[in-house]
Structure 1
Amino acid sequence: MSGNNPEPILIRAASKSNGITSIVIGCAGLVFAALWFVLLPDWLFLAGILITSAALVTLLVGYFKIREPEFSLEMTTEVITYRHRLGSWRIHWENLQRADCPRVRQGLEHVGLETVGFKLKDYTEFLTSISPRLATHLLMEQRPLLLHNTNEGCATGSCYEESMFDDNHFTLNNGTVLTGVKAMLANRMAELRKRLGYDVFIATSDIDRTPEEFAALISQCQAARRTNKVQ
């Protein structure tokens, strides 16, 4: 990322680890279950069903792990790219205002969330580059974030429902009017900025280090870019 190191930084998702191992364990479990049914008496049939179910679940977990891209994030000197099996999004460094670990109130204290937030200068590039399938996934994945720093004056709880299903049209700075799932994502980003101070979030399962370490890496990359510009 610096002038002496133009190679991209590749981040592997923690959730992708042990995918092959899970598949091997799942296959071994199915073989064991088959032998269980053949060799053991009928009164142990229910236990065999439980072993089969566990093996199938393990097999599915491994399958979904290996379906994900090899690297979840790629950071070059120009852009941060997030990759998912449902699509990708990108943020140019020039459009990134800051990145850090959001904190929420819990009683009298502020505690950090297990995520890294990105605050953007403009939504246009992000929303035009993201696929509708990934936008839908983010809407589902990030719903729990709406529960934090809620409006204390909303006694009925309807404020939460309105922000979760806000499908009003959204107008970008360049005049483009978004509708459908991308408008919902844009409204969700605006709402999360009000509550948590950030627009886009990356879960700890998508990175290979702690949120604090990843946020520090982003800050180092931004500092390196500023230094290179001065030079």
Structure 2
Amino acid sequence: MERGELGRRVGLAAGTIKAIERDERRLVDDNLRKVLGALEIQENNVRLLVSAREGRLRSDDSAPCDVELRAIEAITEPVFILNTVMGRIVAANRSCESLMHLRAGVSIYEWLVAEPWTRQLLGQDWRTIVHGLIWGAAPLIECVMPDGERERLLDVCSRVPEWEVLWTTRPATADFIYGARMTDPGTEDTLDYSFTAAELRFPPRVGWWQGQLTPAGPELARVSA
């Protein structure tokens, strides 16, 4: 997007945008949110990006407590907790480990892009789903993830043939993916799932989100955005 077009969308002169890009002028929070909106950054990532810029975002690397682990194990459907700053799974219940092969310590982005099990799980929808999720996560990977973790992640993912397209191009739909058809590679059982995610508010759990898959009714499209 050219500076003039971005400026028009957020109400700033192209010269002002240029000065901001060169760190010659500060981008105040109100305008920052407008810029993120104009660049189609997903709303759930905006707060994390603003917090990171202000130096208020710290990765909580502690292990989940017993209450948190019991809470997700009490749910029979696949559930995982994700540290969005590090891009790593904090915890996953037994159902999630069985179906998705997600467990504590696994990089969610490597699992999406480079894990053969995930390709089998998502089948012909793999590319569409992964492209949309990587596009949505790119601002967090670029701006929030620690440098060493980001470099390691990009090194691993860049070995996947599709990575260049997944990382550098805008998908046909850049909206959040809310559903998918999954085929368990072990049992070959196929089922449509809806996906929900919510930010966990356990202080000081900064940047922890809980994701859950729920078997969906027949009205759910195979990939709905």
Q: TM over 0.5, yes or no?
A: no
Q: When you count helix as a share of all residues, which structure comes out higher?
A: 1
Higher relative contact order (CA 8 A, sep 6+): 1
For Structure 1 versus Structure 2, the TM-score category normalised by the shorter chain is under 0.3
Greater Rg over alpha carbons, structure? 1
Q: When you count strand as a share of all residues, which structure comes out higher?
A: 1
Normalised by the length of structure 2, the TM-score is 0.25
Normalised by the length of structure 1, the TM-score is 0.25
